[in-house]
């Protein structure tokens, strides 16, 4: 019914500015501009992603990419940069030995992964495990000497991961 009314208005030559916005030609222009805005936003988002200051940087060791299936972090780094953003309950879980689940968004492959952050009692350091080897080392073909970056995204409540400097 609304299309008929607009057609009648159009034939009578009394198109108002408001109605002209909903005409088929204007709709396609609006769709084009929406698509352009989406592309522009995506491009800006990608550029912003590249500009991020990676708060946690680590050159992978043989141990990080080996058979132990865990990424080792110094306790001071985790206690300063990772635990404070997790909340009190998660901090208790991470220190308890059972660990706390953390979401990790791989910005390079645009994929989400679940890992476990926990204190490693024998070294008094922390590890990310529970799929580290499968989801990152093997899938991304990470190597000893690669530099990775992690940072907390407070909007999505997850860590972002990127391979910053591959060795090969």
Q: How do residues 122-131 score in pLDDT, each as one tens digit?
A: 888 999 999 9
CA atoms of 163 and 140, how far apart (whole Å): 9
Q: What is the mean pLDDT of residues 145-154?
A: 95
* Residue 64 backbone phi and psi in degrees, to 5: -65, -30
pLDDT at 53: 85
Residue-range domain boundaries for the chain: 2-51, 56-165
pLDDT at 3: 43
- Region for 101 from its dihedrals, namely left if φ exceeds 0, alpha if ψ lies in -120 to 50, beta otherwise: beta
Strand 71-73 to 56-59 pairing: unpaired
Whether residue 145 is predicted with pLDDT greater than 60 in this model: the reply is: yes
Give the rounded distance of the alpha carbon of 17 from its chain centre. Answer: 42
* Residue 72 backbone phi and psi in degrees, to 5: -90, 135
- pLDDT digits 0-9 by tens, 31-81: 566 666 555 555 445 545 554 689 999 999 999 999 989 999 999 999 999
- Lookup: tokens for 103: 């979401």
Confidence of residue 100 (pLDDT cuts 50, 70, 90): very high
CA atoms of 49 and 45, how far apart (whole Å): 6
Name the residue with higher pLDDT: 4 or 71. Answer: 71
pLDDT at 121: 82
Please report the DSSP string for 70-122 in residue order.
-EEE-HHHIIIIIGGGT-HHHHHHHHHSS-EEEEEEETTTTEEEEEEEEEETT
pTM listed for this prediction: 0.68
pLDDT at 123: 80
Whether residue 9 is predicted with pLDDT greater than 70 in this model: the reply is: no
CATH code for 56-165? Answer: 2.40.330.10
Percentage of the chain lying above the pLDDT 90 cut: 60
Inter-residue long-range contacts of 111-115, CB under 8 Å, 24+ positions, other chains counted:
112/158
Strand 111-120 to 100-106 pairing: antiparallel
């Amino acid at each position: 019914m609304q299309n008929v009314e607009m057609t009648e208005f159009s034939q009578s030559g009394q198109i108002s500015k408001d109605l002209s916005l909903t005409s088929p030609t204007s709709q396609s222009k609006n769709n084009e501009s929406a698509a352009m805005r989406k592309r522009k936003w995506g491009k800006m988002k990608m550029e912003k992603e590249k500009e991020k200051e990676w708060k946690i940087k680590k050159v992978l060791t043989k141990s990080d990419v080996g058979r132990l299936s865990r990424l080792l972090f110094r306790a001071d780094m985790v206690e300063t940069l990772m635990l404070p953003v997790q909340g009190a309950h998660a901090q208790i879980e991470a220190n308890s030995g059972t660990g706390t689940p953390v979401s990790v968004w791989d910005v390079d492959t645009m994929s989400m992964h679940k890992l476990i952050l926990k204190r490693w009692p024998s070294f008094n350091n922390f590890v990310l495990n529970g799929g580290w080897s499968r989801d990152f080392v093997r899938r991304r073909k990470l190597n000893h000497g690669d530099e990775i970056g992690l940072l907390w995204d407070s909007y999505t409540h997850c860590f972002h991961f990127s391979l910053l400097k591959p060795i090969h």
